A and B are shown apart, each in its own frame.
Chain A
Amino acid sequence: DYTIRAVANSNEADEDYDGLQVFKSYVEAASNGAIEVEIYMGTQLCSNGAECLQGVADGSIDVYISTSDGASGLFPYLQVLDLPYIMADDRVAERVLTGDFTRQLRDMTLADSGDTLRLMTIGNTGGWRNFANTERQIQTPEDIAGLKMRTVVSDLPQELVRALDASPTPIPWPELFTSLQTNVVEGTANGITDIMSMKFPEAGLTHLTLDGHAYMGAMWWMSNQKFMEMPEDMRMIVVDGFSHLQQATFESPKRKSIAAYEAFAEAGGEVYVPTPEEKQAFKEAAQPVYEWFTGSVDGGEEILADFRAAVEEAEQELTAERTRDIQ
């Protein structure tokens, strides 16, 4: 009775696809076939955040996954999730994103999109963003200084690279392999699965530092109209479907990254894990990014405070649980 047309701009090897498979399987079974889910991977229907979200708003697409950067042109405050070194690890991130902070973001984005875009859940796409480069092993912020780092054309990642005294260099994704190979740029900030799916080590990208500066959050949007048109029992099924999808995208990158790290090593890649002191140094060096965020994003200060509070709460709960679990 209902057909949900879901779009992800990645390919079938991506965790987005895994999430959608879980969503489709759950929703179709739980609704006893009343809801059908059509999955469109890649750029067949639309090819970037602005375009696809417009599609969700006007009803030509029902479900779409964007990164926070992809939606930041409309909701600048979503970049709060891209601020470096705030969430420490997967457990913290997962707890924050399954909590009320996501609901708060949903209310804000619904209001700002005239009740058209409904943020259903935030999962993960690609694990954590790390610095990788073709030149040298990076252990401290000083090591990254002077490198030409590829970034998307977007303020926050550029501010971060600048804060580390490196040079942010915008290169379109399709041209990145060639640009790494020919040293037009010397480094990137990507997750391991993206690095391997693009075969970047073959272009010389062999030094990877697991600084984990950003959690690669995946925002799952649904047309609010489509959602609200459904009766409440169906809505419940969809909501549960997104919860399963979220769990699947939390796990999938962890599983996929094992093979990706092996392949990275096989291709001659070296992985460096910074010590807590080194990570602290990165965090301090990244301070200007927070100032940029609170200074230039409307409502930045409030949302950052809320985010920090959510993270702190999650950390406390986790600490309590961990303390009991090890006894």
Chain B
Amino acid sequence: MIRIDGVIRPLSWINERVLKAGRAVGIAAVAVMVAVTILQVFCRYVLGSALAWPDEAARFCMLWMTGLMAPTAMRRGGFVAIDILPTMLPAFAARVLNLFLLLVSLVVLVVALQIGWSEMTGLGGRFASASLYLPLNLEFSEWYRIPRSWMMASLPVGLVLLISVGVELVLRNIAALMGHDVSLLPESEAETGIQGVD
């Protein structure tokens, strides 16, 4: 029983820090999305000459924002669910159900990660992006065309983080079932701030 606490605490510590970094990148990504989209409107409407890359660059940012921020949402219990049944059940039964639901989620995530990895490393990942380049030197004379896999990596990375969060939540649930005094969701994440599109 000491062992499970001993696993939860470091995992929680890691998740907290990694997700915080993920959120920081996500925040930057949102800012870039807005900026390049406005830049495109400006170039097309004011200068009369559109740029090729903002569309793809903005999508690049959106995908990474999703991959890096969705795990935080899961850790804060922010994924939409109908929770009538869990709230109606007695505490113990609710925890057993919750554990089952978390395990189903984990299976989905692990299968998705397997497929995602082969997708990213497969032929589809070798496709060149249509308009994204990286400078290879400081004189900007040589450019590297970014492959699609850089964009596709956002989802597998997000899945790894989601699995890490899922494992933490499962362990917390098991510990609670065993009668330990742990909360099912990390307290540090109590402030949800997630509303959904509605």
Contact = CB atoms under 8 A, between A and B. Distances in A.
A and B touch in the complex (CB under 8 A): yes
Contact of B124 (A54, A76, A158): A54
Interface string B82-125: 00000000000000000000000000000000000011001111
B18 interface: no
A184 B44 contact: yes
Contacts of A172: 55
A153 B122 contact: no
A213 to B, nearest CB: 19
B52 A58 contact: no
Nearest to B132: A153
Interface in A137-195: 146, 148, 152-155, 158, 167-170, 172, 184
Interface in B42-72: 44, 48-50, 52-53, 55-56
Interface string B122-156: 11111111110000000000000000100000000
A153 B55 contact: yes
A317 interface: no
Contacts of B49: 167
Contacts of A146: 48
Contacts of A113: 123
Nearest to A73: B127
Contacts, number: 61
B119 to A, nearest CB: 7
Given A50-B148, A58-B122, A148 B127 contact: no
Main secondary structure of the interface of A (DSSP, over half): mixed
B33 to A, nearest CB: 15
Nearest to B122: A54
B121 to A, nearest CB: 11
Contact of A153 (B44, B118, B127, B130): B130
A53 B124 contact: yes
A150 to B, nearest CB: 9
Interface residues of B, number: 21
Contacts of A49: 127
Contacts of B130: 73, 152-155
A202 B122 CA distance: 42
Nearest to B53: A153
B50 A50 contact: no
A73 B52 contact: no
B123 A148 contact: no
B197 to A, nearest CB: 19
Contact of B118 (A58, A76, A167): A58
B52 A170 contact: yes
A154 B55 CA distance: 12
Contacts of A51: 124
A116 interface: yes
B123 A58 contact: yes
B148 A73 contact: yes
Interface string A195-212: 000000000000000000
A74 B128 contact: yes
B118 A158 contact: no
Contacts of B131: 153
Contacts of A73: 127-130, 148
Given A58-B118, A153-B131, A169 B44 contact: yes
A98 to B, nearest CB: 27
A275 B118 CA distance: 53
B127 A168 contact: no
Nearest to B130: A153
Contacts of A152: 130
Contacts of B127: 49-50, 53, 73-74
Given A148-B50, A169-B50, A57 B122 contact: yes
A76 B122 CA distance: 18
B76 to A, nearest CB: 32
A168 B123 contact: no
Nearest to B45: A184
Interface in A30-53: 49-51, 53
A57 B124 CA distance: 9
A49 B129 CA distance: 12
A155 B125 CA distance: 19
28 contacts: A50-B148, A53-B123, A53-B127, A54-B119, A54-B122, A54-B123, A54-B125, A57-B123, A57-B124, A58-B118, A73-B127, A73-B148, A74-B126, A114-B123, A153-B53, A153-B55, A153-B131, A154-B130, A155-B52, A155-B130, A158-B52, A167-B44, A167-B49, A168-B50, A168-B52, A169-B44, A170-B50, A172-B55
Interface of B: 44, 48-50, 52-53, 55-56, 118-119, 122-131, 148
